[in-house]
Amino acid sequence: MSAVGHTSGAAPARNPRPRGGLMRPVRDALVVAQRNLIRMLRIPEVVIFSLIQPIMFVVLFTYVFGGSIALPGSQAGDAQAYREFLMAGIFAQTVTFATAGAGAGIADDMHKGLIDRFRSLPMSRGAVLTGRTLADLVQTALTLVVLAVVALLIGWRSHENPASVLAGFALLLLLGYAFSWIGALIGLSVRTPEAATSGGLIWLFPLTFISNAFVPVSGMPAFLQHIAEWNPFSATVAGARQLFGNTIASVPRSVTGAWPMEHPVLASVIWSILIIAIFRTLAVRKYRSATA
């Protein structure tokens, strides 16, 4: 048989299958997340500075304010009771304050033109934001680990089994991931990283302080009690306290009968999923219009 005939009878070369389908956005998001994690390792001071604020809050509330705050059924100066009441609130505040960093990071990428470079690549548009928020979630988890160690050193203790404690931290991280999408939307909506940082913090202070994080809701005016007990932040704090075994018997679960306070773990999951669904949709839409 001739070489020509042999060649004509051979099977045609198979072209490589294009990468697509449902796994493509997942792969793209993981690549972007890896890029941001490598950047985080190369700039460790970002992680270090993110640890300073929550540690300061722990020390200030425990040793400065804690001696003056009396929980219902306990005496002022009962430091151990207040530590167990406080730490779930500090953990929740830490994961939500990471929102400002997420927004500033995305605003910085937009300002430097990195997003335009991503546009030139054959990748899923939503993967850029998903990868960024996943990297921020890893950083938040590392911060929580360090903060938990500090809490143990100052006397905080959980009273549940390890599985329940891990579930409590997972609940906190879910809220942090949900809020990172709010930060992503803010970062895409402003012109500079400084504006993203300010915009990411200004609404967090009333959200975290009009809650059950630092003081019992029963001491608030009646109209604030309703706001606090329907606050997604309060649901996560109450759910974490329940999973950590840090509920205080003398502190009522709810003073208004709000459903989230009666079922805090379930309410926290529902709130977080709703926030992710709403703000991820808005952020991806904003990203597509900003890079169109």
Question: How far apart, in whole angstroms, are the C-alpha atoms of residue 11 and residue 208?
Answer: 66
Q: Tell me: the pLDDT tens digits for 128-182?
A: 888 889 988 998 998 899 899 989 988 898 889 999 999 999 999 999 999 999 9
Q: Which two tokens stand for residue 250?
A: 């003398």
Contact 270, 184 (CB under 8 A): no
Domain ranges in the chain are 25-290
Tokens of 103: 């927004």
Q: How many CA atoms lie within 13 A of 81 on its CB side?
A: 18
Rounded (10°) CA dihedral 30, 171, 279, 253: 180
How does pLDDT run across 26-63, given as a tens digit for each residue?
A: 888 888 888 878 877 777 777 777 778 788 888 887 78
How buried is 98 (Cβ within 10 angstroms: 0-12 exposed, 13-18 middle, 19+ buried)? buried
If you ran DSSP here, which 8-state letter would residue 247 be given? Answer: -
Say if CB 146 and CB 175 are below 8 A apart.
Answer: no
Are 144 and 172 in contact by the 8 Å Cβ rule? The answer is: yes
pLDDT of residue 122: 67
Quote helix, strand, coil % in the chain, to nearest 5: 75, 0, 25
Structure tokens at 220: 């608030």
Lowest-confidence region among 3-7, 72-76, 148-152, 285-289: 3-7
Q: Please, what is the end-to-end C-alpha distance for the chain in angstroms?
A: 57
Which segment, 18-22, 133-137, 200-204, 258-262, is predicted with the most confidence on average? 258-262
Residues 64-76: pLDDT tens digits?
776 677 777 665 5
Q: What's the average model confidence in pLDDT over 93-116?
A: 79
Residue partners of 204: CB distance under 8 A and separation at least 6:
96, 97, 99, 100
Residue 90 scores a pLDDT above 80: yes
Tell me how far apart the alpha carbons of residues 125 and 284 are, in angstroms, rounded to a whole number.
8
> Distance from CA of residue 253 to its chain's centroid?
24
3-class DSSP state of 275: helix
Neighbours of 224 (CB within 10 A): 14
Answer yes or no: are the C-beta atoms of 218 and 225 closer than 8 Å: yes
230 pLDDT band, cuts 50/70/90, is very high
The Cα–Cα gap between 36 and 31 comes to: 9
Question: Looking at the whole model, is its pTM more than 0.75?
Answer: yes
